[in-house]
Structure formats: C-alpha cells, structure tokens
C-alpha cells in the first residue's frame, strides 16, 4: 500500500490510498506481439481519458465505493484476457524496434480520494484539475487505471494508455468491452490483433506525396520550456460548442457550394473556423509566414475496399490505423479568404488520404525506411510557424461506458503532449443534444485569442452547463 498527497493552486487534494496490479483473470501464454508499420509512426506518448459519474448511491443503486472498485477490478481482469496487449509491456526487440511482450504483467490500478465535489471540479482547466490528479501517471506497462472517489460520493474513472499500442478507436473498443463485462453483458465487438491486415506489399510502392506528410527522424524534436516565451507554452482547456453554433459554422463553410452533394462536414467546418481564427491572430515573421493544419484520418474503413467481410474484421482491429494529412497555407491568405475557401482547402487535403491506396502506400513507406523511426511531419515542426492537428472524437462511445451505476455525466480525452504542434479533439456532449465538447491543447496565446475573438462560438465547460449544480 502506498500513500501520497497531491496539491495544486486550488484547494483540491487527491490522496492515493491503495495501488496494486490487476492482471488477466486467466493465464496468458507469454508471447510477442509486433507493432505494425503504422504503430511504428508513433513515438512514446501516453494518452489519458476520464469518465465522471454522479453519486451512484443517490441515483439508482446502493453501491458503495468499495463495491464499485471490486466490480471495476474483477471486470478489468476479465477484459484483459481478451485485450491481453494492455496487460503486457513494451520492450525493444533485437532490431531495436518496440514490440509488446504479452506476459500478463498487469495494469497498475490505483484507488484515490479527492476532497472536492463533482460540481466544483474545474473541467475548463484540465491542467489544474485533471493532470496528475484524476488521470494516472503510467509508470510501467501499457495501461494504468485510477478510480477516484469524490467528497460528494461521485466517482471518476481515469485511464492512461500508450499510444504506440492503441489509437483512440482501439481504446474505445476496450472501454466498451470493460463496461459490458462489468454488467455481465455479452461483448458487442471482439478485438482483432491480426497484424496481417497491415503487412507491407511485396514489392512495396508508395506515392511521392507520402514524403510530404511523414519524415524519418530519430526522435521528436524536444522543446525546452525555458527557451520559450510564456505565451508560447502549450496549455489545455475544455470548451463546448452548441449544436446551433455548429450548424451556423457549417452553413458559412458551405456558402459557395452549389450542390448538397459537395457539402462540407461539421468537422471540416469547425476545423476551417479554428484554422482561420488562429491565423487572424497570428503575426507573420521572416521565419513564420505559413500555418499548417492537419486532420487525423482513420484507415479501417478505407482498407476494407468495400469488402463486407474485411470491413467486419477491420472494425475490431486493435492498434493504430491512422494518417495525418495536412495543408500548409500562408497566414495572410487564411486571413483574407472566406471560411468556405478554408473549408474547401481542408476537404482537398483530407480527400487525398481517405483512400485504400494512401494507407497501403503509407505502410510501404514505413517499411522502406525501417528501422529508422519516422513521424508525421506536422508534429516535427522546427520553426516558429503555428501547426494544429484535429482528431475527431465524435464516435466516442462515452454513453456506453456504464459499469452498472449509470452513464457518465462528463468525459474527455486528455493529451497534453510536449510537442509544439497543437492538438484538438471534439467529442459529443453528455447532453446528447448535438453540442460538442472540445478538448484543446494549444499555445497559450492561441487559446487567449480563441476566447477573445471566438467567445460567441466556443465557451468554457462549467458545472452549470453540465447540469451539476
């Protein structure tokens, strides 16, 4: 048993009362699970996610904290039998590349207590309320879990996983399965670890455009905080956008479209608005005249190539199947052009990446450069020009993460990575009314700009908005 206390500027303490390792309930034969070529594009990065529940005792059940913890532990042990990669650890193989050793070393599971009520948690500022408090720091293995009891009897389930092993889609599969087993329900989707889906072709082939999106480098460029202006430090914030405002943005983005067949999506419209808003507050310098903007694309549906059986199998594929196409426009051009032009620019660079050939080419490109590590070029920025990546979480199945005491009343991914490129993830609102919850990890000046010039669209998440008061 270990105990420690974490404090911040707010009067919000978290006491870790118990930490143990939860392993798969059934024996797992030790074996190696190689990372796919698309996994190898990810550096060592941890991603967090939280789910907040109101006091279950006063809602639908008579469960106490100890009972809920036992349910979470026992169902987690069951889930790790199926998602055995999360119970392993990443080690280097003889070729110097990372692989998953599936040895059932287990998941670090921590119980904690926070002397704060759910309605008083500052979700708007996750750096203050979530980072290092409600989301665990993963010290070893692939996955870490923390369950925190709140003063009001509410509960927060936080997870941190290694991005090299799973993308958000894969993590979502795991979370849904965990909640289903907690309620003794049959699994709605079994995971697949068949790396043959992502084998390179023989002979391999890739289009020259891949060289414009990815770059072989030994590591991500590090940014020393002491060399940056305070306004250039990246911070995290969580906002919401109403469905009505999203509809208005989409209408503006489609103003010049003559046919509904070519309508820009809400994600494209929101991304265009974000790209243009930040550009309008950016200052050109001799080293910074352009602004790069990328969108994360999932390749599962693209690789199936219309084959229903292949699509069904890829639907459960566990691992990274992502590409990050991006556009690079002059800041002055983004300022002057209408939102519809910016949205069209986004659609153009996305369209080139949502094909089977793009993902097969990317797999072959990685194979041609191994064992040298590679990364998305938009993450490897080494100049002063802004760069932002948007990853859609609109398919986030948060309402399904019910462990037996009701749906979560708030949720969010948490990804405060150390790179210079910004990261934004929009997710569905707990209200289920078409609103968006938007996690943003951007430069301080960029967020201040958004809160000033886009305050009529983007608003801070509050307890009042979440109906927690």
* pLDDT over 70 at 226, yes or no: no
pLDDT band at 49 (very low <50, low <70, confident <90, very high): very high
User: How much is the pLDDT for 384?
Assistant: 62
Specify the higher pLDDT residue, 226 or 401.
401
Give residue-wise pLDDT tens across range 381-412: 666 678 999 999 988 999 999 999 999 999 99
At residue 2 the predicted structure's pLDDT band, cuts being 50, 70 and 90, is: very low
- For the chain, the average pLDDT equals 90
Please state, in angstroms and rounded to a whole number, the distance separating the CA atoms of residues 297 and 89.
Answer: 27
Domains of the chain: 12-195 (3.30.559.10), 206-464 (3.30.559.10)
What integer pLDDT is reported at residue 262 of this predicted model? 77
Mean pLDDT in residue range 401-429 = 93
As a whole-number percent, the residues of the chain with pLDDT over 70 amount to 91
Arithmetic mean of pLDDT, 40-61: 84
Residue 144 scores a pLDDT above 60? yes
Answer yes or no: is pLDDT of 468 > 50: yes
Model pLDDT, residue 285: 58
* The pLDDT of residue 21 is above 70: yes
pLDDT score recorded for residue 210: 96
Across 69-73, 281-285, 437-441, least confident range: 281-285
Is residue 207 over pLDDT 80?
yes
């Amino acid at each position: 048993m270990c105990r420690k206390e974490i404090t911040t500027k707010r009067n919000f303490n978290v006491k870790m009362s118990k930490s143990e390792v939860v392993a798969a309930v059934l024996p797992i034969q030790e074996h190696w699970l190689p990372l796919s070529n698309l996994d190898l594009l990810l550096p060592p990065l941890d991603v967090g996610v939280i789910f907040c529940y109101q006091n279950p005792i006063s809602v639908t059940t008579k469960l106490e904290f100890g009972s809920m913890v036992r349910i979470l532990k026992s169902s987690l042990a069951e889930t790790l039998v199926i998602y055995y990669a999360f119970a392993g650890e990443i080690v280097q193989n003889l070729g110097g590349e990372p692989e998953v050793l599936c040895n059932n070393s287990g998941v670090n599971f921590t119980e904690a207590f926070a002397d704060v009520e759910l309605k008083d948690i500052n979700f708007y500022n996750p750096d203050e309320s979530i980072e290092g408090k409600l989301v665990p720091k993963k010290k070893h293995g692939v996955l870490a879990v923390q369950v925190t009891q709140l003063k009001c009897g509410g509960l927060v389930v936080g997870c941190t996983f290694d991005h090299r092993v799973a993308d958000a889609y894969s993590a979502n599969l795991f979370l849904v399965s965990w909640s289903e087993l907690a309620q003794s329900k049959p699994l709605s989707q079994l995971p697949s670890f068949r790396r043959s889906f992502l084998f390179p072709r023989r002979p391999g082939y890739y289009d020259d455009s891949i060289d414009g999106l990815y770059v072989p480098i030994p590591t991500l460029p590090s940014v020393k905080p002491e060399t940056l202006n305070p306004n250039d430090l990246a911070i995290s914030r969580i906002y919401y956008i109403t469905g009505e405002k999203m509809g208005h943005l989409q209408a503006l983005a489609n103003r010049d479209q003559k046919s509904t067949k070519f309508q820009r999506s809400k994600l494209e419209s929101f991304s265009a608005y974000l790209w243009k808003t930040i550009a309008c507050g950016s200052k050109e310098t001799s080293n910074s005249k352009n602004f790069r903007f990328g969108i994360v694309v999932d390749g599962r549906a693209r690789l199936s190539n219309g084959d229903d059986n292949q699509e069904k199998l890829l639907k459960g594929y566990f691992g990274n199947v992502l590409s990050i196409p991006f556009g690079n426009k002059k800041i002055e051009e983004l300022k002057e052009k209408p939102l519809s032009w910016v949205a069209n620019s986004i659609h153009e660079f996305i369209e080139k990446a949502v094909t089977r050939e793009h993902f097969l080419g990317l797999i072959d490109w990685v194979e041609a450069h191994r064992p040298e590590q590679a990364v998305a070029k938009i993450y490897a920025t080494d100049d002063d020009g802004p760069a932002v990546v948007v990853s859609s979480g609109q398919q986030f199945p948060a309402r399904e993460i019910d462990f037996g005491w009701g749906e979560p009343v708030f949720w969010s991914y948490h990804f405060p990575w150390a790179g210079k490129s910004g990261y934004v993830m929009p997710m569905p609102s707990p209200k289920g009314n078409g609103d968006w919850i938007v996690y943003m990890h951007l430069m301080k000046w960029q967020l201040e700009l958004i809160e000033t010039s886009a305050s009529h669209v983007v608003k801070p998440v509050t307890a009042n908005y979440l109906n927690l008061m």
